[in-house]
């Protein structure tokens, strides 16, 4: 493998994970049973499809979708994005911050939940909760979650869900642009399956809402998009102008981001657009080298994404982008199979030796760009524990080197990495 350590200072260091120990299915991290009793919360249950797994494949997180008038929530297995308990829908009785917080507290109480919570909110709710202070407000309102509350907007949540269990699942290589299309545009960028956190493209589509309103006035339609044409009929001019507007903004964003794949996430009336025609017109403003897909929008996508995103936020996020942090056995297996060369650092919660080698591991990742570096905490959940047992990992740290999907070297001593071929 030809590893050579760099001795210069200032190398980014991977941060030790602070995950709450996994609780058995049906129990919270604190040991309380996660139920869906509704005696203290006027809420309706959902009929979303539940996971059929015997054990969760990842951390269980309570996902919430908070809109102006409702809170939808469910417990989500963040390893696969599946629901593990029936969800709830709770009405918000008013339009103030207190009204929103009362509804959120009742939902959490109905699940008897004391673990991590992921909340996805609309921009209106974000403003109601104090804009930049919204996450702090939500966290303060849920003391039982012990500051394990993460907040995001719907575009971010939809992207998390789409990348784990939607159209993006099979497009982890390269740069993927997730675009929500509705009254507003939203964009999230992923690089090789990981969210790119330092790429803000909102300055590229701030005129979208204004130009859409201009189209609505010119062609007298009030919805987000004009009525879609039938398969047999010729599209009306209003629809052609609307798709032209979409194509212009998508092309503008693609010119800046340079994605290999674009996943379109329609909302509102846009969902009813004829998929083939819609994509054909959107493609006109985009390079033919860019693949454009329409998101699958899995059932309860925003709730799934809120939970998945919250778990991602809770996991150590290395300041070194060369290190990928896997949260489940499925994820690490996918990485190993897809990459030519991959080095997996298996660590353990509270392992002092693991903490000591984090800095040299990060340094190694910075100087070997042709190798994919992965970090996996054996204590994350049952799937990671089972995976390491299958590989007979008896102590940590353990370093597993894969070439073309095959395990070719392993070591417990970091210094031995330097002798790998």
Q: Name the nearest CA neighbour of 47 among 299, 316, 267.
A: 299
pLDDT band at 378 (very low <50, low <70, confident <90, very high): confident
pLDDT of residue 34: 43
Residue 290 and residue 190 share a domain = yes
Residue 196 and residue 148 share a domain = no
pLDDT of residue 39: 35
* Structural domain count, the chain: 3
pLDDT band at 123 (very low <50, low <70, confident <90, very high): confident
Residue 13 within a domain = no
Across the chain, mean pLDDT equals 81
pLDDT of residue 397: 93
CATH number of the domain at 54, please: 3.30.420.40
CA distance 382 to 378: 9
Determine if the peptide bond prior to 397 is cis (ω within 30°).
yes
CATH number of the domain at 371, please: 3.40.30.10
Q: What percent of the chain has pLDDT over 70?
A: 83
pTM of the full predicted structure? 0.63
Residue 373 and residue 267 share a domain = no
Residue 290 and residue 197 share a domain = yes
Q: Residue 418 CA to chain centroid, in angstroms?
A: 35
pLDDT band at 119 (very low <50, low <70, confident <90, very high): very high
Angle at 262 between CA 258 and CA 263, to 5 degrees: 155
Residue 9 within a domain = no
Residue 398 and residue 307 share a domain = no
CA distance 325 to 194: 9
Residue 200 has pLDDT above 80, yes or no: no
pLDDT in tens, 393-418: 988 999 999 999 999 999 999 888 77
pLDDT in tens, 30-68: 343 444 333 334 566 677 888 888 888 888 999 999 999
Residue 174 and residue 137 share a domain = no
Asked if residues 131 and 99 have their Cβ atoms less than 8 Å apart, the reply is no
pLDDT of residue 316: 53
For residue 119, the SS3 value is strand
Q: Where in the sequence is the domain holding 58, given as residue range(s)?
A: 43-157+300-311
CA distance 269 to 214: 18
Residue 31 within a domain = no
């Amino acid at each position: 493998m030809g590893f050579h350590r760099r001795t210069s200072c200032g190398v980014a260091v991977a941060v030790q994970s602070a995950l709450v120990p996994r609780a058995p299915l049906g129990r919270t991290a604190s040991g309380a049973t996660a139920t869906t009793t509704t005696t203290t919360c006027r809420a309706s249950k959902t009929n979303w499809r539940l996971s059929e797994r015997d054990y969760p494949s990842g951390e269980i997180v309570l996902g919430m979708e908070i809109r102006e008038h409702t809170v939808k929530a469910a417990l989500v297995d963040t390893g696969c994005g599946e629901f593990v308990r029936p969800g709830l829908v709770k009405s918000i009785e008013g339009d103030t911050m207190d009204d929103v917080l009362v509804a959120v507290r009742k939902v959490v109480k109905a699940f008897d939940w004391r673990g991590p919570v992921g909340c996805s909110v609309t921009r209106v709710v974000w403003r109601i909760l104090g804009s930049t202070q919204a996450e702090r407000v939500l966290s303060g309102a849920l003391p039982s979650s012990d500051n394990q509350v993460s907040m995001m907007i719907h575009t971010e949540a939809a992207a998390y869900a789409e990348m784990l269990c939607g159209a993006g699942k099979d497009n982890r290589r390269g740069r993927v642009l997730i675009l929500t299309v509705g009254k507003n545009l939203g964009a999230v960028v992923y690089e090789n399956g990981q969210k790119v956190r330092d790429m803000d493209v909102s300055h590229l589509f701030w005129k979208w809402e204004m130009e859409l309103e201009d189209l609505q006035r010119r062609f007298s339609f009030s919805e987000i998009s004009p009525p879609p044409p039938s398969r047999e009929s010729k599209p009306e001019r209003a629809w052609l102008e609307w798709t032209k507007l979409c194509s212009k903004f998508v092309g503008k964003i693609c010119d800046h981001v340079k994605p290999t794949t674009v996943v379109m996430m329609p909302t509102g009336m846009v969902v009813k657009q004829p998929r083939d025609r819609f994509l054909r017109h959107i493609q006109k403003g985009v390079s033919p080298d860019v693949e454009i897909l329409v998101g699958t929008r899995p059932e309860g996508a925003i709730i799934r994404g809120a939970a998945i995103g919250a778990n991602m936020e809770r996991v150590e996020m290395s300041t070194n982008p060369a290190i990928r942090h896997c949260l489940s056995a499925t994820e690490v297996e996918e990485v190993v199979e897809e990459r030519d060369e991959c080095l997996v650092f298996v660590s353990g919660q509270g392992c002092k030796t693991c903490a000591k080698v984090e800095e040299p591991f990060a340094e190694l990742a910075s100087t070997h760009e042709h190798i994919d570096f992965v970090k996996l905490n054996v204590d994350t959940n049952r799937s990671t524990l089972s995976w390491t047992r299958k590989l007979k990992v008896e102590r940590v740290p353990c370093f597993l080197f894969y070439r073309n999907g095959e395990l070719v070297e392993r070591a417990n001593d970091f210094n031995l990495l330097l002798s790998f071929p």
